[in-house]
Amino acid sequence: MTRLKPHMQPRTLRRKTPVQRDRFTVFAALVAAPMPLYQLIFFLGPLLYVLVLSFFTVEWFQIKPILTISNWTHIWTQDFFWSAFLRSLLGATLTALAVTLIAFPVSLYLGIVASPTRRLVFLALLITPYFTNYVIRIFTWRGLLGESGPINGLVSALGFERLQMVDTFAGVLVGYVTLTLPLVLVLQTFSLAFVNRDLIQAALNLGSNPWRTLVSVIIPSAKIGIILGAAFSFVLAFGDFLSPAMIGGSRPPVLSGLLVDQIRAGNHWPRASVVAITMFVFLFLVVLFAVWAAYPSRRKIRWRPTQ
């Protein structure tokens, strides 16, 4: 429907329109203000406070507002901090890669091959585990992967030696995959469902085989969901402390485990803040990079010929 510009509308109609679409009134302010206000106080506030806290001094277990950079120099010069950082980085990178590859065939089926009804039903089923208590899922995985668990029972019944899976890095990865797979499935499936059907048919009509169509039409079109999915799973795995603690046995710790220990035992919040901010800034850069990689740059769009 084409809408007349205000000056073209008949005078009577114009006067009878009491409210313009985007006019900002008291009502609008009442609607728009509460959420940002709440998040400003209880979300941005705490984050900024942690930044300030990282420069505070601890004297006799008391936090004093005396500014110092000693927390930063203390944490940043510890070898265990950087080795924990590297372990988190490795775990998160492997998880992002593995989950992206594991999820893709499923998402391809759901987003392109399956009928809309099947898509809805299967997707709903696959994400239900995401809404069940993660503590309990990880606890159960520990039992499943354990020395006397059913998986090792099967392995030894087949005549192989029992595998050490608990307290290993591989076991931790199983936990990370459990945590992040449902979310990646959703993001990938949605972006694949949005791939322009005409493009796929055009490629097929021009004689492209399924593999070629997949690589040069479908994957580039679904790039945003694939990259954002990988980035999300990276962030989630990087921040998870439960899988390393329960399946991995916490030794040696990852960065998030270090943070939890600092908060619980050390009560040295300024140092914990240093760890938190380092993680935060690093993950922010990762997400920024992912967004840059996922969305085509403005310059490219400007040079595209008009249609």
Partner 1 sequence: MGRLPFSQEDPLETDTVNNLFSPAASRVMLLYLILIGIFLFTPIVFNLYLSFSARRFPGFPVTDYSLKWYLEAFHDARLTEALIRTLIVSSLVAPVATLLGGLAAYADYRFKFFGKRLALALGLLPPTIPIVILGLAFLAYLARFNLTASLTGVVISHIVICIPFAMALIRLRLAQMDRDLEPAAWNLGGSQFQVFWAIVIPFCLPAIMASLLLTFAVSFDEFTIAWFIGGTEQTLPVRVLNMVEREASPMINVIGTITFTVTLTLVGIALILLSLSRLRTTRASR
What is the footprint of partner 1 within residues 221-240 (CB under 8 A)? Answer: 224-225, 228, 232, 235-236, 238-240
* Nearest-5° Cα angle at 148, 143 to 150: 70
Map 176-211 to HEC letters: HHHHHHHHHHHHHHHHHHCCCHHHHHHHHHCCCCHH
Q: Is 288 in the site for partner 1 (CB under 8 A)?
A: no
**Residue span 131-160 as binding mask against partner 1, x where in contact by CB under 8 A, dash where not:** xxxxxxxxxxx-xx---xxx--x-------
Task: Classify burial at 208, counting beta carbons within 10 Å of its beta carbon; exposed 0-12, middle 13-18, buried 19 or more.
Answer: middle
**Binds partner 1 (CB under 8 A): choice among 119, 165, 166, 171:** 119
**Binds partner 1 (CB under 8 A): choice among 6, 101, 197, 289:** 197
Cα 111 to Cα 118, 191, 196, 201: the distances in Å are: 10, 8, 11, 15
DSSP assignment, residue 148?
Answer: T
Q: Token pair for residue 37?
A: 């206000």
CB of 59 to partner 1, least distance (A): 17
Identify residues 236-275 at the interface with partner 1 (CB under 8 A).
236, 238-241, 246, 256, 259-260, 263, 269, 272-273
Of 51, 103, 143, the closest CA to residue 230 belongs to 103
Q: What is the tally of helices (H) and strands (E) in the chain?
A: 18, 2
Q: Judged by CB under 8 A, which stretch of 64-72, 77-85, 97-105, 161-169 contacts partner 1?
A: 97-105
Identify residues 34-63 at the interface with partner 1 (CB under 8 A).
34-36, 38-40, 42-47, 49-50, 53
Identify residues 66-95 at the interface with partner 1 (CB under 8 A).
none
Q: Token pair for residue 237?
A: 């795995």
Q: Judged by CB under 8 A, which stretch of 67-75, 76-84, 155-163, 276-284 contacts partner 1?
A: 276-284
CB of 77 to partner 1, least distance (A): 21
